Structure 1
Amino acid sequence: MSRLRVTPAHGQGRDRLYVSLRDGTTVAWYDKDTGRVSVLSGAGREEVLSALAPYLTGEVTVGPPRVPTPADLDRLSLHPDDDLAPNRPGEALHAELDAVRAAGSDGSFGSSGYSSSHGSLLGRRWRRWRRWRQDPRQDPRQAELLAQETIGDRLDRLEDAGWRVLHSIPLPGAARIDHLAIGPAGVLAVRTLPARKRRVGVADPLVRVGRAAPVPHLRWARRAAERASRALAADVRPVLAVVEPARLDALPMPPDVWILRDTEIPALASLGGVLKPADIESLYATARDRHCWLRV
């Protein structure tokens, strides 16, 4: 019988299998996301691989744990209350709508009693979208939350291409940056605009959605990028991400603001030439600290 045991662990965005001795001492772990088996000095490589064999998928890299970078050390030193990395897309809207629901307001998620434990994330988004379409008089924050979740999900999928993403960054004065994406193509401050199959017209700085009055979304997007640039001491480009527009008229396109449909977000993975991996990690470590945003 093997003297090693394998235990799964989930947390901090990682999915790992830990290999330990019978007394509980950890001697190795397998990070499923990176395909790496890190082996400590308490057990042999072959013994560890034998214990993990039923769980390994695809090619794996085996070796000692990598040396932590300065950015890794900065992240480890953050107090949980100051770390913005766990924020969900639309974190502030979640809090607002949860308070409405708790108060029994008609603006809640509906009589079914929404709970984060009910169904998958995709199922919850579909239910919110369906309820909005059935009753457009519902709290418009529901549609805004769904849009932020849609853009947030697409941005999170860029991590395999070297991007790091933060959501719902609080700024002084009750303002927020919907999403901050840091990657090979630079730093992007992303403002989300729900369109819900309506026509979107852009006449810089105003944006009109359907028949609603024009709103200066481009001015707000630029303002958020300016504040992010001061906080990070780096160039930050404003982005307006439009979710499910029936038509998008933005001619001439503003020279300084990217206006993207939600379906165009994945194309960012093919862009690069601005930031190196070390720069990305350093900026991400700075941006995830709540304190860096307090004076912008």
Structure 2
Amino acid sequence: MNRLRVIPARRHGQERLYVCLADGRNIAWYDREAARVNLLSDDRRSDVLDILGPFLTGPVTIGPPPVPTPAELARLSLHPDDDLAPNRPGESLLVALDRDPGPARRLRPDPRRRALTAELVTGEALDALDGAGWHTLHSVPLPGGDRIHHLLIGPGGLYAVHALYARRSRVRVADPLVALGRHEPRPVLRRVRADADRASYALTAEVRPVLALVAPSGVTVTAAPRDVRVLTDAELPELARQGGVLKPADVEGLHAMARDRTTWDLL
């Protein structure tokens, strides 16, 4: 008989304890706020209650999930290694810096840390939209070593958000070039569009590109970029005001597809 383990997680403001088999598949979860143990199969009922016993507080309801949707079942069947939802903002950079923090003393700041700051600030702003029916996935890996910094999914559609550190810099945008202060312009908008195009292909749905400028001293746009929204981190909540594009069931279905790592493997 497969041994069970308990994995704590917090999703969209709700604390849950998942009960998993040795291969990582979920067979039950305890929702603390709802005081409910949800069983995907009654076969392991006693085993699930035994391992959850030390965590249960007060009376709980035990039974199958209440009217589970296909998206919820797909999410629960994901192996933990294939589930992108737990990724933190800047996950890839956090792992890279942990493996190779670089020399203790540097003449110039490590550009990875500035990039990480941009993703952390942007990710925090996007995660704050969860209560409005939106989901955000962070550091979505793409074949070839690329990644989408943030993928926002909600009633107003899908957005691939690229975070750019611009603290105390005046930003000039001249499609496709973006210049920070006195630095040479770079074709950043091409990367932003490419990320959105690849996400659209993988999810078979329109994904719109967004460039998020973190803490700039000012932004000058010579002409409105084609198809790309350019926002500061303070303006990101504007995305939540977009609505009428996706129904709640569509949002959940696309989120379930996007959080599965294998969705992105064949790009």
TM range, smaller chain? 0.7 to 0.9
Q: 1:251 aligned to 213, 222, 226, which one?
A: 222
**Counterpart position of 1:164:** 135
Sequence identity of aligned pairs in percent?
53
**Counterpart position of 2:263:** 292
Deviation at 1:137, TM superposition (A): 0.8
What's the Cα RMSD here? Answer: 2.6
Give the distance between the partners of 1:175 and 1:39, measured in 2 at CA.
Answer: 39
Change (3 A) 1:77 1:29: closer
Deviations 1:157-207 (A, max 9, x none): 111000011000111111110000001110000101100110000000000
**Counterpart position of 2:246:** 275
Q: What one-letter code is carried by the residue in structure 1 that aligns with 2:207?
A: V
Q: 2:210 aligned to 239, 263, 267, which one?
A: 239
Question: 4+ residue stretches of structure 1 with deviation over 3 A?
Answer: 28-32, 36-40
Q: How does 1:103-182 map onto structure 2 within 5 Å?
A: 105-106=102-103, 137-182=108-153
Q: What one-letter code is carried by the residue in structure 1 that aligns with 2:139?
A: S
Other structure's SS at 2:234 match: helix
Change (3 A) 1:136 1:145: farther
Deviations 1:20-69 (A, max 9, x none): xxxxxxxx96644xxx45488xxxxxxxxxx58xxxxxxxxxx9952111
What is the TM-score of this pair, normalised by structure 1?
A: 0.71
Larger CA deviation: 149-158 vs 268-277: 268-277
**Counterpart position of 2:159:** 188
Q: How does 1:9-158 map onto structure 2 within 5 Å?
A: 10-13=8-11, 14-15=14-15, 31-32=32-33, 36-38=34-36, 51=58, 65-101=65-101, 105-106=102-103, 137-158=108-129
Change (3 A) 1:205 1:136: farther
Deviation at 1:295, TM superposition (A): 1.8
The 8 Å contact of residues 244 and 262 in structure 1, kept in 2 or not, is answered as yes
Larger CA deviation: 81-90 vs 246-255: 246-255
Give the distance between the partners of 1:289 and 1:171, measured in 2 at CA.
Answer: 12
The 8 Å contact of residues 175 and 226 in structure 2, kept in 1 or not, is answered as no
Give the distance between the partners of 2:100 and 2:224, measured in 1 at CA.
Answer: 39
Give the distance between the partners of 1:227 and 1:203, measured in 2 at CA.
Answer: 23
The 8 Å contact of residues 209 and 229 in structure 2, kept in 1 or not, is answered as yes
Change (3 A) 1:214 1:136: farther
Give the distance between the partners of 1:94 and 1:185, measured in 2 at CA.
Answer: 30
What is the TM-score of this pair, normalised by structure 2?
A: 0.78
Change (3 A) 1:207 1:67: same
**Counterpart position of 2:196:** 225
Deviation at 1:98, TM superposition (A): 1.1
Gaps of at least 5 residues in structure 1 are 1-8, 18-27, 41-50, 53-62, 111-134
Across the two proteins, how many residue pairs are aligned to each other? 229
Change (3 A) 1:88 1:39: closer
Give the distance between the partners of 2:127 and 2:178, measured in 1 at CA.
Answer: 26
Q: 2:175 aligned to 201, 204, 229, which one?
A: 204
Deviation at 1:12, TM superposition (A): 4.5
Q: What one-letter code is carried by the residue in structure 2 that aligns with 1:67?
A: V
Deviation at 1:153, TM superposition (A): 0.7
Give the distance between the partners of 2:136 and 2:229, measured in 1 at CA.
Answer: 17
Give the distance between the partners of 2:107 and 2:215, measured in 1 at CA.
Answer: 16
Change (3 A) 1:206 1:136: farther
Give the distance between the partners of 1:221 and 1:39, measured in 2 at CA.
Answer: 42
Give the distance between the partners of 1:38 and 1:83, measured in 2 at CA.
Answer: 23
Gaps of at least 5 residues in structure 2 are 1-6, 18-28, 39-57
Give the distance between the partners of 2:227 and 2:262, measured in 1 at CA.
Answer: 28
Give the distance between the partners of 1:87 and 1:160, measured in 2 at CA.
Answer: 19
Q: Rg bigger for which structure?
A: 1
